[in-house]
Chain A
Amino acid sequence: MSLEFTGKVVLITGAASGLGYACAEAFCKQGAWVAIADISRKVVDEAVARLSDLPGEVLGLVCNVAEADQVESMVAEVVRTWGRLDVAVNNAGISSPLNPVANTEESDFDRVMSVNLKGVWLCMRAELRQMEKQGSGSIVNMASALSLRVFAGGSFYVASKFAVAGLTRTAAVEYAESGIRINAVCPGNVATPLVVSTVSSEMLDQLANVHAMKRLGKPEEIANAVMWLASEQASFNTGTILPVDGGWSAQ
């Protein structure tokens, strides 16, 4: 995919691995200046090292997105370094233990919500404050096919991802006339390096078979959709919830 990102400032959370890393790699290849934010210095430094040969510039940032002051500092650091924020990809997220609702724990609820929902909100709030000053910007939230469909046992994750879709659409309407577009991508099950290396081949088949296309998604397919929504190609798209799920949510 070739889109215009040369010299655009992009912030990606959860960017050290998985879908976030795939997005970081894709934006770097297009010449963007990409801030790689993740939870620990070690994983951030490793990701920055792996990305350093690509055309774009890279900035490593440590941030727990569930902590307001850390989120504020993260966005401030991007702006201090590069002067602006053109694109934000709010990707950081965690999974929840699989249990029916009667067997769930308060601590798990708080943990999942603090990252998947509160984290996206805190990031959006800080990003929007900057983008409002600029009068421009594009935010892409990483929602999920589980923003549109449910998975028994995954109530916290499902609820958090439904909420991300709601937050996306509400903010899209609020900021539509501010030059800021806000959209979300809903990935299905994707063959990230972590999934492929830790999940049994039997389970991988099951994950693939929920999609109409009967295969797993590739990380770059999710990154392509994120880049498209982030780009000027999608200039009339705001509040769009874009499934990249091989037809899972069409069923």
Chain B
Amino acid sequence: MSRLANKVALVTGGADGIGAGIVRLFIEEGAQVIVADINRDKGETLAGSLGNNCHFVSLDVTEPDSWRAAMVIAEEVFGPLDILVQSAGWSRPASIEDATLDDWREHMKVHGEGAFLGCQAAIASMKKKAGGSIVNISTVESIRPGPLFTCYGAAKAAQDAVTKTVALHCGEMGYNIRCNSLHPAATYTPLLQQYLQNAPDPDALEKVYAGMQPLNRIASVGEVANAALFLASDDSSFVTGHQMYVDGGVLAKPYPSGQGA
């Protein structure tokens, strides 16, 4: 299939997890993809395995200079962006009593400032073309945070506000740049797999994670990537400012654990 033929995409956090799944799918769909990541080894390995339509750039999403340098390289290699996917992210679960101010600041920096800088960079690049699509990877925790996601939930909610205001601004300005967020629930990323494997009883913990979703399973990276493809492609050309849940029904439930039903 070629739903992204002639499109140039940059994927932050593209070396690993959901980001890497999106990179692979976008390449299959005919896009030229910049893998932007802070992890050079993993990013170069992935880009190297995907041929001439994939290129790695080093990017720390929290640093304006790093964004500037990455965008110069991206535009030199494939030209201005049609698509930005912001998948770079990080989380350290902790309650309000256990989290430190440094935790708070680090979450805000990666998710809030990262999204802010990324949208600025993408809009500047997409204005050189006829428009574009920004997909910010958020989480169900931004909509309905659990008790251990004080910092992560708040930072992702900040990112969501950036998404919406970017959508509204670009609409008002007539840029034909759309901006949406994608909210996965539990997803089989390498990080989650490792976490499950290290548990005393991996099967029991996996059942707990699966049971949070009405579909009673954990999403595959591919399922989240499919939703990113829909939002990135022209198939969603009238969708902007939307928070798309890819959550197996979690947010349709009265309460995440099901206890409140």
Q: Which A residues form the contact surface with B (CB < 8 A)?
A: 1-2, 169-170, 172-173, 176-177, 188, 211-214, 217-218, 221-222, 224-225, 228, 233-240, 242-247, 249-251
Contact = CB atoms under 8 A, between A and B. Distances in A.
Of listed A211, A213, A214, A217, residue having the most chain B CB within 10 A:
A213
Contacts of B252: 169-170, 172-173, 238-240
B164 interface: yes
A245 B235 contact: no
B235 to A, nearest CB: 5
Contacts of B227: 233-234, 236-237
A251 B224 CA distance: 25
A118 B164 CA distance: 34
A246 B178 CA distance: 9
Given A2-B1, A237-B227, A240-B244, A173 B214 contact: yes
B167 interface: yes
Contact of B224 (A225, A236, A240, A249): A236
Contacts, number: 121
A249 B170 CA distance: 15
Nearest to A176: B214
A212 B238 contact: no
B246 interface: yes
Given A214-B171, A236-B248, A237-B246, A247 B235 contact: no
A57 B167 CA distance: 39
Interface residues of B, number: 40
Contact of B167 (A217, A233, A236, A247): A247
Given A177-B216, A188-B238, 10 more contacts: A176-B215, A218-B237, A221-B237, A234-B226, A239-B214, A245-B238, A245-B239, A246-B238, A246-B240, A250-B242
Interface of B: 1, 3, 164, 167-168, 170-172, 174, 176, 178, 213-216, 219-220, 223-224, 226-227, 229-230, 235-242, 244-249, 251-253
A170 B261 CA distance: 11
Contact of B253 (A173, A214, A224): A173
A13 B176 CA distance: 32
A83 to B, nearest CB: 26
Contacts of A244: 236, 238-239
A199 B245 CA distance: 35
B28 to A, nearest CB: 13
A251 B235 contact: no
A233 B230 CA distance: 9
A1 B3 contact: yes
Closest A-B pairs by Cβ, 4 of them = A250-B241, A239-B252, A212-B171, A176-B214
B192 to A, nearest CB: 14
Contacts of A176: 213-216, 248-249
Nearest to A222: B238
A222 B251 CA distance: 23
17 contacts: A169-B252, A176-B214, A176-B248, A188-B238, A213-B238, A228-B230, A236-B219, A237-B227, A237-B247, A238-B215, A238-B249, A239-B252, A240-B245, A242-B244, A244-B239, A247-B241, A247-B242
A188 B241 CA distance: 13
A224 B226 CA distance: 14
A213 B214 contact: no
Contacts of A214: 171-172, 174
A247 B240 contact: yes
Contacts of B247: 236-237, 239
A82 B247 CA distance: 32
A224 to B, nearest CB: 5
Nearest to B187: A236
